Structure 1
Amino acid sequence: MSRVNTVLGAIPAAELGVVAVHEHIGYGMPGSELDSTWWKIPEERYAETVPKLREFHEHGGGTFVDVTGICNGRDVDHYRSLSAKTGVHIVACTGFVGGDTALPHFARATVEYLARHFVHEITVGIGGTGARAGVIKVGVSRGGRMTALDRRIYRAAARAAVQTGVPILTHLAIDPEPAVAIFGEEGLPLDRVLFGHADDGPNSSITPHEWLLARGGRIGFDTFGYETELPDPPFWARPRKERLDHFLSLLERGHLGQLLVSADANCSPLGWPGVKGHTVNYLFTDLIPDLRDAGVDDAVITTLLVDNPADFLSIRS
Structure 2
Amino acid sequence: MTKVNTVLGTIPAEELEIVAVHEHIGYGMPGSELDTRWWKTPERAYEETVPKLRKFREYGGGTMVDATGICNGRDIDYYKSLSRKTGVNIVACTGFVGGDTALPHFSRATVDYLAKVFIHEITVGIGDTGAKAGVIKVGVSRGGRMTELDKRIYRAAARAAVATGAPILTHLAINPEPAVTIFKEEGLPLDRVLFGHADDGLNAPITPHDWIYEQGGRIGFDTFGYDLELPDPPFWGRKRAERMEHFVKLVNKGYADKLLVSADANCSPLGWPGVKGHTINYIFEDMIPDMRAAGIDDATLKLLLEDNPADFLSLHA
Same fold (TM over 0.5): yes
Q: How does 1:125-274 map to 2 (within 5 A)?
A: 125-274=125-274
Q: Measure, in 2, the Cα distance between the counterparts of 1:161 and 1:154.
A: 10
Compute the RMSD of aligned alpha carbons: 0.4
Report how far residue 38 of structure 1 moved.
Answer: 1.1
**What amino acid sits opposite 1:174 in the alignment?**
I
Q: Measure, in 1, the Cα distance between the counterparts of 2:297 and 2:108.
A: 49
Report how far residue 295 of structure 1 moved.
Answer: 1.2
- Could you tell me which residue of structure 1 aligns to residue 121 of structure 2? 121
**What amino acid sits opposite 1:112 in the alignment?**
D
Q: Measure, in 2, the Cα distance between the counterparts of 1:69 and 1:34.
A: 19
- Could you tell me which residue of structure 1 aligns to residue 20 of structure 2? 20
- Could you tell me which residue of structure 2 aligns to residue 37 of structure 1? 37
Report how far residue 67 of structure 1 moved.
Answer: 0.7
Write out per-residue CA displacement over residues 53-98 of structure 1, whole angstroms, 9 at most, x where no aligned residue: 0000000000010010100000000000000000000000000000
Report how far residue 34 of structure 1 moved.
Answer: 2.0
- Could you tell me which residue of structure 1 aligns to residue 278 of structure 2? 278
Report how far residue 35 of structure 1 moved.
Answer: 1.3
1:81 paired with 2:72, answer no
Percent of matched pairs sharing the same residue:
76
Q: Measure, in 2, the Cα distance between the counterparts of 1:33 and 1:257.
A: 39
Q: Measure, in 1, the Cα distance between the counterparts of 2:297 and 2:218.
A: 21
Which 5+ residue runs of structure 1 have no aligned equivalent?
A: none
SS in 2 for 1:92: strand
Write out per-residue CA displacement over residues 274-301 of structure 1, whole angstroms, 9 at most, x where no aligned residue: 0001000000000000011111111110
Q: How does 1:87-106 map to 2 (within 5 A)?
A: 87-106=87-106
Q: Measure, in 2, the Cα distance between the counterparts of 1:80 and 1:275.
A: 25
Alignment coverage as a number of residue pairs: 317
Which 5+ residue runs of structure 2 have no aligned equivalent?
A: none
TM-score (norm 2): 1.00
Runs of 4+ in 1 over 6 A off after TM superposition: none
Q: Measure, in 1, the Cα distance between the counterparts of 2:287 and 2:88.
A: 20
- Could you tell me which residue of structure 1 aligns to residue 66 of structure 2? 66
1:315 paired with 2:309, answer no
Q: Measure, in 1, the Cα distance between the counterparts of 2:157 and 2:272.
A: 29
Q: Measure, in 2, the Cα distance between the counterparts of 1:191 and 1:183.
A: 11
Write out per-residue CA displacement over residues 138-173 of structure 1, whole angstroms, 9 at most, x where no aligned residue: 001100100000000000000000000000000010
Q: Measure, in 1, the Cα distance between the counterparts of 2:236 and 2:127.
A: 33
Q: How does 1:39-54 map to 2 (within 5 A)?
A: 39-54=39-54
**What amino acid sits opposite 1:44 in the alignment?**
R
